[in-house]
Amino acid sequence: DAGITQSPRHKVTETGTPVTLRCHQTENHRYMYWYRQDPGHGLRLIHYSYGVKDTDKGEVSDGYSVSRSKTEDFLLTLESATSSQTSVYFCAISEGTGTVDGYTFGSGTRLTVV
Amino acid sequence: AQSVTQLDSHVSVSEGTPVLLRCNYSSSYSPSLFWYVQHPNKGLQLLLKYTSAATLVKGINGFEAEFKKSETSFHLTKPSAHMSDAAEYFCVVSLFDTGRRALTFGSGTRLQVQP
């Protein structure tokens, strides 16, 4: 989607290794989110940010950390990847809390932990 | 209790027939509601949104949804299905009474359209 880029698009990694996914936006939106998508669960919120250095946990935050040192970048880190973290990860952005206009989503990162 | 429930995980219709995808929510106040669509191996696209204006909301590609507060429902409909409508659809709600300033997604409904 225009204005939001996720990298990498695909990654295969080994159990126990650290992994960092990047979300970059050019919209200057205040809010950024990380979701994971798994069959039968829809999208579940991992972490979100409501400003530089301001982050909060979502419903499935265990095993994940985030950082936001500048408005345009929101990083998701798996400190020690496990097979249960194999998933498709989506980043999203919103100007406000999303209650008026919803979110704009990135194209996703498919992560496989072997 | 689940706060957003999509009542059907799979729906199959024939091309040209109506589509109904059901969504119920639980919230202590009137939330904002959305429907998103995801085509295979793609990201998510906003179909329509309800933000406390008109209860019947029209979206893209001929879809519409009706907010019914008494039934806590926000079902998605389309009069006539097209093959290109085959995708996964997510009902999404703002449930800020959970303490999180983020939207909550239903588990999704996969729509199949038969020729």
Q: Does A33 touch chain B (CB under 8 A)?
A: yes
Residue A99 has pLDDT above 80, yes or no: no
| pLDDT single digits (tens) A38-62 | 988 889 999 999 999 999 999 899 9
Cross-strand pairs, B89: B37, B109
List, as one string, the DSSP characters of chain B.
--SEEES-SEEEEETTS-EEE-EEE--SS---EEEEEE-TT--EEEEEEESSS-SEEE-GGG-EEEEETTTTEEEEEESS--GGG-EEEEEEEE-GGGS-SSEEE---EEEEEE-
Residues of B in contact with A40 (CB under 8 A): 9, 107-108
Cβ–Cβ under 8 Å, residues A34 and A89: yes
Q: What percent of chain A has pLDDT over 90?
A: 86
Tokens, residue B31: 């939330």
State how far the Cα of A71 lies from the Cα of A29, in Å rounded to an integer: 7
| pLDDT single digits (tens) B89-109 | 999 988 765 566 788 899 999
Rounded average pLDDT over B44-65: 90
Question: Closest approach of chain B CAs to the CA of A75, in angstroms?
Answer: 17
pLDDT given at position B1: 43
Residue B71: partners with Cβ closer than 8 Å, 6 or more residues away: B24
Q: Does B104 touch chain A (CB under 8 A)?
A: yes
Rounded average pLDDT over B58-80: 94
Mean pLDDT, chain A, integer? 93
Residue among A44, A48, A102 minimizing CB distance to B49: A102
Question: Closest approach of chain A CAs to the CA of B94, in angstroms?
Answer: 6
Rounded average pLDDT over A20-42: 94
State how far the Cα of A17 lies from the Cα of A13, in Å rounded to an integer: 7
State how far the Cα of B110 lies from the Cα of B112, in Å rounded to an integer: 7
Residue among B9, B43, B102 minimizing CB distance to A1: B43
pLDDT given at position A88: 96
Rounded average pLDDT over A75-102: 91
pLDDT given at position B99: 62
Q: Does A5 touch chain B (CB under 8 A)?
A: no
State how far the Cα of B36 lies from the Cα of B14, in Å rounded to an integer: 21
Buried b (16+ CB within 10 A) or exposed e, A82-94: eeebbbbbbbbbb
pLDDT given at position B96: 65
pLDDT given at position A87: 97
pLDDT given at position A19: 97
Identify the residue among A55, A93, A97, A99 best suited for mutation to test binding to B, counting B beta carbons within 10 A and taking the highest: A99
Residue among B6, B44, B106 minimizing CB distance to A105: B44
